[in-house]
Amino acid sequence: MFAGRCGVSLHLKGLQTDYTGFLFSEELGAVIQVRRDSLPEVMHRTRSFGIEGRVMEVGTTNSEDRLDVFADGNLLLSQSRSVCQQAWSSTTWQMQRLRDNPSCADQEYLRITDDLDSGLFCRLAFEYDSEPPQSVNLSLRKPDIAILREQGVNGHLEMAAAFEAAGFTPHDVTMTGILGGLKLDGFKGLAACGGFSFGDVLGAGAGWGNSILYNDLLKDALEMFFFRSDTFGLGVCNGCQLLACIRAIIPGAEHWPDFVRNASEQYEARFIMTEIVSETSILTAGMKGSMIPVPTSHGEGRVKYRRPDDQSMLEKQDQICLRFVDNRGCVTERYPLNPNGSPQGATGFTTRDGRFTIMMPHPERVFLTNSNSWHSGQWGKYSPWIKLFQNARNWVG
């Protein structure tokens, strides 16, 4: 009832007055929801398994967003779902106020009473191929992309899978490999993956970034890659933090922000709404105005601009490409729909020419429809996020 924001009407029959013992039993059990016309089949199956005496019809859903409890036809209790849910959540709320940022705790608690919140949705401003191609041209060489990782990075496999699905040949590339002589000359793309490089001991992505900036071989190799006109890159989560840390060697990234501890003061792993607000990035071409849910998993994702004019310059140059929105489609700073408290919901940025893009959410985790905890029934094998990676492939040519 709470998770689905769905009203429930309980109908208790033949219990005399032992309603409390029935409703608050701590024995193992389960409540399942079935269509009314399927109920005879369900009861038939309980008889075939010899458990008909342990299964009973207890109620129905209702459209009033209320909990109604009837006993032999008499109404015992009628209460709104939000009041019940706030009572249920009150202890957690008070604990959260002591443990976390109390303002964030209050925002999440008050959201229970938002009766107009209709939940996750998907609104696309583009058409995409949601099914895999039927044939493959084996004579067409697939461009190589470097899937960057460092000690503690854990998102390289799904990143490689997403780019491979879009027509790239992914290669596992480590900092040790580059130090050992691996050249980036043959790569068209570079993807820095999510995780916890060096355990985030020096801050989000800082250890990884400084290991590049203070090593001439690594710094020169990556700087040469960034300054080539035929290359592109994507940094997600820890990779986003990394590229922001080394912005000085990425052309057109001078106004990118830092990413600091979430306003909630906690690690946030959620499946929430985002809006693509710019087509400057080569990855978001044709996607502006689309609103798509996506997972986030980070403890230090709050945007912090380093200079007073950074935000205005990024907005002026259309370099903010992704923002958190609420379930009505409005840009939000409210927790938990904005899980880290970034100003104006900003959570994705690109360079002036759009070749290099960073974002805190994880589209690579949900490029397959069945990886999404919620999805539209109109999606096929691939979710709309596959277009990010297809755009990269189309740009390379």
12 to each of 26, 75, 85, 157, how far by Cα in Å? Answer: 18, 10, 22, 51
Which tokens sit at 344?
């104006």
Among candidate residues 268, 275, 279, 364, the one labeled active-site is: 364
| Residue 237 annotated to the active site | yes
Which tokens sit at 360?
């805190």
Cβ contact 7:1 at 8 Å: yes
Where on the phi/psi map is residue 288: left (φ > 0), alpha (ψ -120 to 50), or beta?
Answer: beta
| Residue 362 annotated to the active site | yes
Rounded Cα gap, residues 43 and 56, in angstroms: 9
296 to each of 237, 321, 336, 359, 387, how far by Cα in Å? Answer: 8, 16, 11, 10, 19
Residue (of 244, 248, 223) closest to 234 by Cα position: 244
Q: What is the DSSP string of 18-84?
A: -HHHHHT--S--------GGGHHHHHHHHHHTT-GGG----EEEESSSEEEEEETTEEEEEEEHHHH
Hey, how many other C-beta atoms are within 10 angstroms of the C-beta on 136?
10
Among candidate residues 237, 240, 245, 321, the one labeled active-site is: 237
* Tally of CA atoms within 13 A in the half-sphere of 241 that contains its CB: 28
- Indicate which residues carry an active-site annotation: 237, 362, 364
